[in-house]
Chain A
Amino acid sequence: MKKLLRWLMALAVAMVAFVGVAAQPVHATDDSLAKIKAKGTLVMGTSPDYAPYEFLVNKNGKNQVVGIDVEIAKKIASDLGVKLVVKQMDFDSLLVGLETHKVDMVLSAMTPTSARKQSVDFSQIYYTASQDIIVNKADAKLYKNAESFVGKKVGAQTGSMQADLVKQKMTDSKLLGLTKVTDLILALKSHKVEGVVAEHPVAQAYVDHDKQLAIVKSGWTLDPESNGQAIGFAKGSDTLVAAANKSINEIKKQGLIKSYTKTACDYMTKNTANTSMFHYWKFFAKGVEYTLLITAVSVVFGVLIGTLMALMRLGKNKILHTIAVAYIEFVRGTPLMIQVMFVYFGIGLFVDVPALTAGIIAVSLNSAAYVAEIIRSGIDSIPTGQTEAARSLGLSTRQTMTSVVLPQAIRNIWPALGNEFISLIKESSIVSIIGVTDLIYQLKVVQTATYKGVAPIFVAMVIYFVLTFTLSKILGHFERKMQHD
């Protein structure tokens, strides 16, 4: 009887606990605003390649995100009495950023489509722009409106509402999707596409800065619900959304968007006053700094972890061997890009890793798998007689490895290791997708800032070549030195 009672008690306790846990999310919706106020910062995620909404300017040698969306975000932050923090990301990564709480809100000229509404909450619409099609000025006479593009290729930003519009309204045109507007403009100029669909202010900005471009009106009349721009929030942030809506109401009532647009355009003219690549050397320098930093740190950790993995794989311990094999095969069997996103967004769910750290971790872990295989092949290439001779002299397993086998193995694999280091310089560029300001990222920043497509690419290409060529010369020097021994 007593036993039964105890049982029932335990059951009751468990049920109360369960209900408590289950009820938690309901409570959580209410504290989204309170949380922001408590931490004192409001983090805005944006993809700053969409002037005049969001773009980068160089202020005292530092990248700064400015634009209409940033002005709106500032207003919301000051209404809440908190500090605004701007985080840069690829447009495609923004919603993931919300879900994983890397950012509190997304302002990136984003349209609240029904597909997006399923995974995030939106504020009311704060701005509605008409859609334009950017064309080469020489061809401007050929096109009257969107219907003139039958059978032609048209470009739009991947994942954007413009891409959806092309799919829905320009069924007889082919869509080319690229992540960056700057790349789309390049595609236009090289006749990969005949038109680029963009919002009016964006199209106007490009045409103002490039005499070879012209605007064709799309002629679409669009439902503001599917055309306007709104602020994205994580699901269930009702209180925060309400606060944002209040600020947007004020912005509308006071007609603030106009002054925000003016501020943005002032930045743009200042930004593009001097578009020579030399003027932007600091951007490139910063890119080189980050690219080298990521590569150097990743080489060190890659070699350390890689050596450990190689030894584990070659060792007698079955468990360690299996771990090493699984690790190596898994990392080599998945793309670096996904690994970078996984570390940043996936691990980021549990601990907040800054983008740079996440990038370095991902690239290091990736490199380690390749280095492990190189080192293993190097160790395998040393005849067993070397090990036997060392062991017969009384050297321990460890001494044999460090004094006899590894020095010879490294000499054998030096060229392969060198290749790995060189390719690391190039492959580390993938971290730009999570907003790490490496050379590729900075290249895009300069493209956006200067409205020049090719020149920054050329500069970045030359820089990459100088980096890899110098490294390969240095490695060659060491290789020759080792061979002389």
Chain B
Amino acid sequence: MTALTETHRTAAPSARFANLVPATVAWARNAVANTLPPLVALAILVGIWQLLCMGAGASLPAPSKVVTDTWELISNPFFDHGGTDKGLFWHLFASLKRVAVGFSLAAVAGVLLGVLIGQSSLAYRGLDPIFQVLRTVPPLAWLPISLAAFRNADPSAIFVIFITAVWPIILNTAVGIRQIPQDYRNVARVMRLSGPEYFFKIMLPATVPYMFTGLKIGIGLSWLAIVAAEMLIGGVGIGFFIWDAWNSSLMSEIILALVYVGVVGFMLDRLIGFIAGRISGPKARS
């Protein structure tokens, strides 16, 4: 008996260790399997681009030239020489700040309006046709109106973000609310849940996946719109940086900025996805 537990005790750590090794190997293999293909694809694409643009008469710079041309910008994103002569970090930061403000306003307004038209069929009949028309207006078409209304570049840009992002949030939230099964409503009615209880215990959890679909589309559209809007309104911002580079024929800077725009857009999308995952947590594992 004692002998048995004794051998057991000595055997345990080595057994655990033996399990640890294959686990680490499996994890590493998994990580390689996920990161290797995109890296290879990227290398091939950059290689093709390099070959195409290497010649003397190429109209676009090759990747190697982009890096040498913009090395100063890449290596020091934080410089600030006053005015619009700032590092790329500051341009991106300014754009992100506008998006953050406009998008937050759109999220709040969008969810509230979505709840309204999802919940009340009268509001739905009244507002849905209007929303359907307004949402097809291209973001930049709002810019002249908002410039006229706000007489100021920054609030105009924020308004454009707002008006771009708000429609998918409204419509997806409304769809989410309208699909809440009648059974869940009946459960709430039998329990006599109050308005706020119904909102937090049933409506919100049932709608969260739909809301986040809207928020994800909204943040993508915001990022598309801000770059375009900043090209027109000027000031500090990644859109203006691109426009400025174009006016000075600095193609390499434009290409660098595009890479940053893409990466930031991707990260914004992932951020919303991450928040959605945290909020719905284990409840929405279906």
- A and B physically associate: no
Residues of B within 8 A of A (CB): none
Residues of A within 8 A of B (CB): none
